[in-house]
Amino acid sequence: MIKRLFMAERPGAELMLRGAHVIDPRTGLDEGHDVLIAGGRIAELGAPGSLPAPPGVETLDATGKHLFPGFVDPHVHLRTPGQEYKEDLDTGTAAAAAGGFCAVVAMPNTDPTVDSAAVLGSLIERAGREARIPVGFLASITRGLHGEELTEMADLRDAGAIGFTDDGKPVVSAGILRKALQYQRLCGGIIALHEEDPALSGAGVMHEGAVSARLGMAGIPSVSESTMVARDGALALYEDARVHFQHLSCEESVQALQDAKRAGARVSGEASPHHLTLTDEMVRTLDSRFKMNPPLRTETDRRALVQALASGIIECVATDHAPHAVHEKEVPFEQAPMGTTGLETAFAVLYTELVTSGELGLATLVERMTAGGALYGLEIPRIAVGRPADLCLIDLDARFKVGEDGYASRSRNSAFEGRSLQGRVLLTIAGGAVAHRRPIAASAEWRAETPAGYRGETE
Amino acid sequence: MNRTGGLRSRHLISIDDLDRGAIEQILDRAESFAEISGREIKKVPALRGRTVVNLFYEASTRTSSSFELAAKRLSADVVSVRSAGSSVDKGESLKDTVQTLSAYDPAAIVIRSPHAGAAQLVAGWTDAAVINAGDGKHEHPTQALLDVFTLRRRLGALDDVNIWIVGDVTHSRVARSNILAFTRMGARVTVCGPPTLIPRDIETLGCEATPTLDRIGEAEVVYVLRMQHERMHESFVPSLREYAARYQINSRRLAPGQLVMHPGPVNRGVELSAETIDSPQALIGDQVKAGVAVRMAVLYELLVGSPMLAAVA
């Protein structure tokens, strides 16, 4: 079996969590528990107060807090190699841990592109030294993301790639994509697609609609995405290939995904916290933090995405964490690069905006935030005796303002900066090791600790 | 900052910064400055000792020269920076350029940029009052003000006046600012042009949209937009010949009494016929003339405010 997740070696966690409300939608757990973690594994589960604390093991009073399986993000940009001024494996995984993630999948649109086993190999070697949580890597479908020649997909799979994507760009040629789908029969690995028809999106910088009409900025119509979802759903069906649609943004794409599934295609989809909670109305501020690709769309689209996530047509949440340096975003909207950070805020954003408002159930949210690795064949984190400790402890009542303590990410281009959110991640254990922890006010045993690499307000 | 309370903002970024009262206040002020422009010595000391920076990242003749004249007629010191030949050419960012120029403590920065939102960004980086002289395809508020000024002089008021804006609305900041300003002053606005050059959902700005000139007879004012040649290469229209055949405003299409406006520069024989440009129905020369007085009024209202005018003028 080829190893597909990589992190720096860290000591296994030894912790007793007392009285946390454990929710694991896959095992059906939904009540208070003591959880003993020993050697980085879940050693015992018991009723609150029932487990004896082994001598020397730190005990935390987690009463009133929620314990979930660790989240898995199938779509992040860690900017390594080549753009470490935006993010690197250390800061990116610190940001992920701060958001309750116990695994992330990194995109290959780096500099150089992850399009050869050599580049992937050096990246994996670096992850083995720097990553605070397990990281999986996608390789590109085409060399240099040029959309012309396939990468050595079989070699890349053997070197550890969990799948393939040209994310950031669509595979414009149906012929090239078809060959990749055929080649998947040899090498396996999901093919993930950023769907956009450049002939329709053109020089667009935001959603095409009333807001772009007002602002005079070139629009990216919804059909730029949905027509490609429809095309590639048909190709996936024809080749019986496994295809995943990345960061879906509009109602028409949800419809196209549903149609492809009904027709029998092996396809799946993801949606990002910003598309699930924000609309193009935010762009009226002309603030470049709201510039991303695909763009924020309308309230109708947002609702369609939430419904699709609730019903499972869209299987998982993906942040599309896209860090950019301050100077890159501090320019007029049309000139700014696309993307928002997302790892540190994903759960709180979705909990605050969708769960407390009643649009989405808490257990469903937890399920969708932990499902992202399964589609790449990664093990889904579970809270069960004997399983590796991949979990996060969250105070659902804790409110905070995004950015008030700085960010763990090297970049601060959060579309949610300044928002008041509810649901703070107190502790993340990833790959069996403590990757993030904050002080718990109620417990004297909890030592305040700032994660190394945590950055302040200035950059 | 304003002692009469008409202007809601210390900057002029968008027509949305102005309610009808504020627009009227600026236009009233412009009337008195227009009178100054008729004098032999066209200068008042209102901004003596203060500095106005004109920062132009895009080619401009009318707007830059009229802002420069406006500031000079108010006795301000004027610094004009164009992207060509400046540090901008050497790759300096907008933020650094603005912060550098702000170190000279200007009272106002007038900015023209090819990018929407540039003026708003600049306002966040400087203590100076910022005036948007055109940002991308977003807005050109002083153009709209001088157009309203020109029409008000001719018609008295714009209430219920039927105004058609004809041409390439998609790529026109003038169209956007004018739709907002005309409707704010009570006019009814219809935009008309090739469907490839009318933005989807433009009606949400409070106007009607139609693809043909069939009902042009309803218009009391026909505001013609510049048709840029490069749009033809981008296939927004099949040819300028067909565009002119369908959308040119000429004596055949105009009824007596209909007024014609154009923000300039005009493509003679494309969006407007030569005889229409030169006809008494065309207000194009009045628009240019109004530019200086209206921009004086904008500078004055932002930097001085009302009560001193009597003493100055």
A216 with B120: Cβ contact below 8 A: no
Average pLDDT, chain A: 94
Task: Report the candidate in A332, A288, A284 with the shortest Cα–Cα distance to residue B121.
Answer: A332
Per-residue pLDDT of A363-420, as tens digits, reads 999 999 999 988 898 989 999 999 999 999 999 999 999 999 999 999 999 999 999 9
Dihedral of CA A426/A429/A433/A435: which sign? negative
Comparing CB atoms, the residue among A210, A286, A330 nearest residue B95 is A330
Q: Does A30 touch chain B (CB under 8 A)?
A: no
The model's confidence at residue B208, banded by pLDDT at 50, 70 and 90, is very high
Burial class (CB in 10 A: 0-12, 13-18, 19+), A337: middle
- Check CB contact under 8 Å for A334 and B204: no
**Does the structure show a pLDDT above 90 at B82?**
no
Q: Tell which A residues from 85 to 144 touch B, by Cβ distance under 8 Å.
A: none
Q: Say yes or no for a CB contact (<8 Å) between B200 and A330.
A: no
Q: Is B135 on the interface with A (CB under 8 A)?
A: yes
Residue A56 forms contact with B (CB below 8 Å): no
Residue B247 token pair = 């959308």
Q: How many CB pairs under 8 A join A and B?
A: 67
Quick check: A447 and A373 in contact, CB under 8 A?
Answer: no
| A210 chain-B contacts, CB cut-off 8 A | 201, 204
Residue of B115, B199, B202 with shortest CB distance to A332? B115
Q: Where are the domains of chain B?
A: 15-140+291-312, 141-288
Asked if residues B44 and B52 have their Cβ atoms less than 8 Å apart, the reply is: no
Using pLDDT thresholds of 50, 70 and 90, give the confidence band for residue B60.
Answer: confident
Shortest CA gap B43–chain A (Å): 36
Q: Choose among A209, A335, A309: nearest CA to B95.
A: A335
B251 C-beta neighbours (distance < 10 Å), count: 12
Do B15-140+291-312 and B141-288 share a fold?
A: yes
For residue B9, the model assigns a pLDDT of 80
User: A203 at the B interface (CB within 8 A)?
Assistant: no
Mean pLDDT of A177-181: 98
Residues of A in contact with B173 (CB under 8 A): 216
Residue A320 appears among annotated catalytic residues: yes
Residue A60 near residue A419, CB atoms below 8 Å: no
Chain A contact set for B202 (CB, 8 A): 213
- The three-point CA angle B124-A79-A279 to 5° equals 50
- What single letter denotes the amino acid at residue A223? V
A401 touches chain B (CB under 8 A): no
Interchain proximity A216–B172, CB inside 8 Å: yes
Q: Distance, in angstroms, between B236 CA and closest chain A CA?
A: 13
pLDDT of B205: 97
Which class is A15-68+385-437 in CATH?
A: mainly beta
Q: What is the mean pLDDT of residues A47-54?
A: 91
**Nearest C-alpha neighbor of A119 from the set A129, A103, A130, A108:** A108
Instruction: Provide mean pLDDT across the span A5-29.
Output: 95
**Per-residue confidence at A2, pLDDT binned at 50, 70, 90?**
confident
- pLDDT for the residue numbered B167: 97
- For the whole model, what pTM was predicted? 0.93
Report ipTM (2 d.p.).
Answer: 0.92
Other Cβ atoms closer than 10 A to A418? 10
Q: Does A457 score more than 60 pLDDT?
A: no
* More confident call, A106 vs A373: A106
The number of beta carbons lying within 10 Å of the beta carbon of residue B196 is: 14
A334·B117 Cβ contact <8 A: yes
Give the mean model confidence (pLDDT) for residues A88-116.
98
What is the reported pLDDT for A195?
Answer: 98
Mean pLDDT of all residues in B78-106: 87
Tell me what pLDDT residue B40 has.
87
Q: What is the DSSP letter of B262?
A: -
Residue A81: asked if its preceding bond is cis (omega within 30°), the reply is: yes
CA of B103: how far to CAs of A341, B91, B100, B127, B300, in Å?
34, 19, 5, 10, 22
- Give A386→chain B minimum CA distance, Å: 55
Task: For helices B141-155 and B62-73, give the axis angle rounded to 10 degrees.
Answer: 80
Q: Is the pLDDT of residue B214 over 90?
A: yes
Structure tokens that stand for A71 in this block: 């989240």
* Sign of the torsion angle spanned by Cα atoms B27, B28, B33, B34: positive
Contact A331 B176 (CB under 8 A): no
User: What pLDDT, in 10s, does the model give residues B178-191?
Assistant: 999 999 999 999 99
* Residue A90 CB burial class (10 angstroms; 0-12, 13-18, ≥19): buried
> Nearest-CA distance from B144 to chain A in Å?
15
CA dist A278 to A209, A305, A317, A415, B193, Å?
A: 15, 11, 15, 9, 33
Reply yes or no on whether the pLDDT at A302 is more than 80: yes
Specify the pLDDT at position A459: 29
Q: Is A210 on the interface with B (CB under 8 A)?
A: yes
> What pLDDT does A308 receive?
98
CB-based burial label for A38 (10 Å; 0-12, 13-18, 19+): middle
Q: For residues B9 and B213, which has the higher predicted lDDT (pLDDT)? A: B213
* Right CATH for A70-376 from 3.20.20.140, 1.10.10.10, 3.40.50.300, 3.40.190.10: 3.20.20.140
For residue B218, pLDDT beyond 80: yes
A216 CB within 8 Å of a chain B CB: yes
Task: Mutate one of B112, B115, B235 to test the A interface: name it (highest A CB count within 10 A).
Answer: B115
Distance (Å, whole) CA A446 – CA A105: 31
Residue B114 distance to chain A (closest CA, Å): 9
**pLDDT surpasses 60 at B313:** no
Q: Which residue of A has its CA nearest to B98?
A: A331
Closest residue on chain B to A331 (Cα): B94
Q: Say what the pLDDT of residue B91 is.
A: 77
- B116 with A209: Cβ contact below 8 A: no
pLDDT in tens, B93-150: 999 999 999 999 999 999 999 999 999 999 999 999 999 999 999 999 999 999 999 9
Sheet with B51-56: list strands edge to edge.
Answer: B77-82, B51-56, B108-113, B129-135
Which residue in B115, B172, B202 is closest to A334 by CB distance? B115
Nearest by CB to B200, from A209, A215, A216: name it.
A209
Contacts of A209 in chain B (CB under 8 A): 200-201
Helices B20-37 and B284-303: angle between axes, nearest 10 degrees: 110
Tell me the nearest-neighbour CA distance from A214 into chain B, angstroms.
Answer: 7
Query: Taking CB atoms and an 8 Å limit, are A332 and B121 in contact across chains?
Result: yes
Give the active site residue among A301, A320, A390, A395. A320
Contacts of B135 in chain A (CB under 8 A): 332
Report CA-CA distances (Å) from A7 to A86, A90, A109, A436, B6.
20, 10, 20, 14, 61
Token look-up 């540039």 returns B118
Question: Per residue, what are the HEC states of chain A?
Answer: CCCCCECCCCCCCCEEEEEEEEEECCCCEEEEEEEEEECCEEEEEECCCCCCCCCCCEEEECCCCEEEECEEEEEECCCCCCCCCCCCHHHHHHHHHHCCEEEEEECCCCCCCCCCHHHHHHHHHHHHHHCCCCEEEEECCEHHHCCCCECCHHHHHHCCCCEEECCCCCCCCHHHHHHHHHHHHHHCCEEEECCCCHHHHCCCCEECCHHHHHHCCCEECHHHHHHHHHHHHHHHHHHCCEEEECCCCCHHHHHHHHHHHHHCCEEEEEECHHHHHCCHHHHHHCCHHHCCCCCCCCHHHHHHHHHHHHHCCCCEECCCECCCCHHHHCCCHHHCCCCCECCCCHHHHHHHHHHCCCCCCHHHHHHHHHCCCHHHCCCCCCCCCCCECCEEEEEEEEEEECCCCCCCCCCCCECCCCCEEEEEEEEEEECCEEEEECCCCCCCCCCCCCCCCCCCCCC
**Bridge-based pairing state of the strands A420-430 and A391-401:** antiparallel
CB contact under 8 A, A216 and B176: yes
Residues of chain B with Cβ-Cβ distance to A335 below 8 Å are 115
pLDDT of B85 reads: 67
Q: What average pLDDT is seen over chain B?
A: 92
Q: Which CATH class is domain B141-288?
A: alpha beta
pLDDT given at position A446: 38
**Which of A354-358, B144-148, B226-230, B285-289 shows the lowest mean pLDDT across its residues?**
B226-230
* pLDDT above 90: percentage of residues in chain B: 83
pLDDT at position B233 is 72
Is B200 in Cβ contact with A219 (below 8 Å)? yes
Distance CA A432, CA B193 (A): 64
Confidence at residue B7, expressed as pLDDT on a 0 to 100 scale: 66
Residues of chain B with Cβ-Cβ distance to A217 below 8 Å are 116, 136-138
Q: Is B139 on the interface with A (CB under 8 A)?
A: yes
CB A139 within 8 A of CB A108: yes
pLDDT band at A442 (very low <50, low <70, confident <90, very high): very low
Of B120, B204, B205, the CB nearest to A286: B120
- Mean pLDDT throughout A246-264? 98
Q: Does A456 touch chain B (CB under 8 A)?
A: no
Domain locations in chain A?
Answer: 15-68+385-437, 70-376
**How close does chain A come to B198, measured CA to CA in Å?**
9
Upstream peptide bond of B194 is cis (omega within 30 degrees of 0) = no
Q: Which of residues 174-213 of B touch A (CB under 8 A)?
A: 176, 199-202, 204-205
Instruction: Say yes or no for a CB contact (<8 Å) between A213 and B200.
Output: yes
Q: Quick one: pLDDT at residue B8?
A: 65
List the structure tokens of A212: 């772009």
A437-451, B56-70, B212-226, B278-292: least confident range:
A437-451
- Whether residue A456 has pLDDT greater than 50: no
CATH number attached to the domain at B15-140+291-312: 3.40.50.1370
Q: Indicate the SS3 state at residue B298.
A: helix
> A365 to chain B nearest CA, in Å?
34
